[in-house]
Amino acid sequence: MSLAIPERGWFKAPAGAEKLWIGLALLWCLVMSVMMPFWHFRGKQNSRGEAYAVQPAAFQARVEQFAAANKVGELAGVPIVEPAPGGDAYLLARMWSWYPVLKLRQGETYRLHLSALDLQHGFSLQPLNMNFQVLPGYDHVLTLTPTSKGEFTIVCNEFCGIGHDKMFGKILVE
């Protein structure tokens, strides 16, 4: 019994049903162990953590330059910016907005650079429910391919102060 000192010969191999269960559980664990590497090589959705060190002010300057060079419109006062297909896009998170609004083309692949100016933020693309962490000092690069059209909302899902719930942005895909 679990409160008492075990008997002298307590060390023995599992047998019967216990042994079968351990075998089955181990098999299941091996299946799961294979899934992540498998998806890494063959699956289309991965989080590799590709990132570069950046000064927030330098990133902000790059975003402004990107927005100015590729602006195609405005949405509620925020520039709508269309990056070149297959190119780099930039998105800046700050208390409490996402800048700029991105306009992307369905089927094209972009290198989306995410960083923050001030605190940690959470990039949460709805209704797809794709979520990534955004930190100041890190240029988090996502190689992203929009495969559906529409208007997508970026919700911030990392606490960033009193205006956190009002922090949202947009990505438009045509």
Partner 1 sequence: MAGARRRGGICDYLNMKKPSDEPWLKRLMDNTWLLLVLGVLIPLLSYTVWGWVELTVVKPATLP
Partner 2 sequence: MSLDASLPLPPVGGTPTSLAAPGAQARRCETTGLSVCLAAQQFIKLNAVSAVVFLLLGGIAAILLALTRWQAVHLLPVDWFYRILTFHGLNMLIFWILFFEVAVLYFACTVPLKSRLFSRKIAWASFAMMLSGAVMVDYIILRGQADVLMTSYLPLLAHPLFYLGIILVAVGTLTGVFNFFATLYIAKRDRTYEGSVPLVTFGATAAAIIAVVTLLHGAIVMIPTFTYSMGWTGQPDPMWYRMIWWGLGHQSQQVNVCAMVAIWYLIAHLATGAKPVNETVCRGAFVLYILFINLASAHHLLVDPGVGSAWKIWNTSYAMYLAVLASMIHGFTVPASVEMAMREKGYVKGLFGWVMSAPWRNPAFAGFVLSLVIFGFIGGITGVTLGTQQINIIAHNTLRITGHFHATVVGGTSLAFMAVTYYVIPLIFRRDFIWRSAARMQPWLFGIGILLVSLGMSFAGSLGAPRRDYDIDSSGAFGPAAHLFLGVMGVGAILAVIGLFLFVLLCVGTILFGPKTDGRAMADWGTAKALANAQPEAIAEDHWAMKGTIALTFVFLASFAVYYFANWKALADVWPVR
Binding segment for partner 1 among 26-34, 35-43, 47-55, 153-161 (CB under 8 A)?
47-55
CB 89 within 8 A of CB 112: yes
For the beta carbon of residue 100, count every other beta carbon within 10 angstroms. 25
Q: Quick one: 10 or 77, whose CB is closer to partner 2? A: 10
Which residues, 82 to 101, sit near partner 1 by CB under 8 A?
88, 90
- Please report whether residue 77 would count as binding partner 2 according to CB under 8 A: no
Q: Report how far residue 89's alpha carbon sits from residue 97's, in angstroms, rounded to the nearest whole number.
A: 17
**Among 61, 118, 150, 174, interactor with partner 2 by CB under 8 A:** 118
Q: Report how far residue 63's alpha carbon sits from residue 119's, in angstroms, rounded to the nearest whole number.
A: 17
CA-atom Rg of the chain in angstroms: 24
Which residues, 100 to 119, sit near partner 1 by CB under 8 A?
113
Binding segment for partner 1 among 46-54, 92-100, 127-135, 156-164 (CB under 8 A)?
46-54
Task: Name the DSSP class of 80.
Answer: E
Which residues, 23 to 52, sit near partner 2 by CB under 8 A?
24-26, 28-30, 32-33, 35-37, 39-40, 43-51
Q: Quick one: 3 or 53, whose CB is closer to partner 1? A: 53
CB of 85 to partner 2, least distance (A): 15
Collapsing DSSP to helix, strand or coil, 35 comes out as: helix
CB 100 within 8 A of CB 81: yes
Which residues, 143 to 162, sit near partner 2 by CB under 8 A?
143-148, 153, 155-162
CB 97 within 8 A of CB 77: no
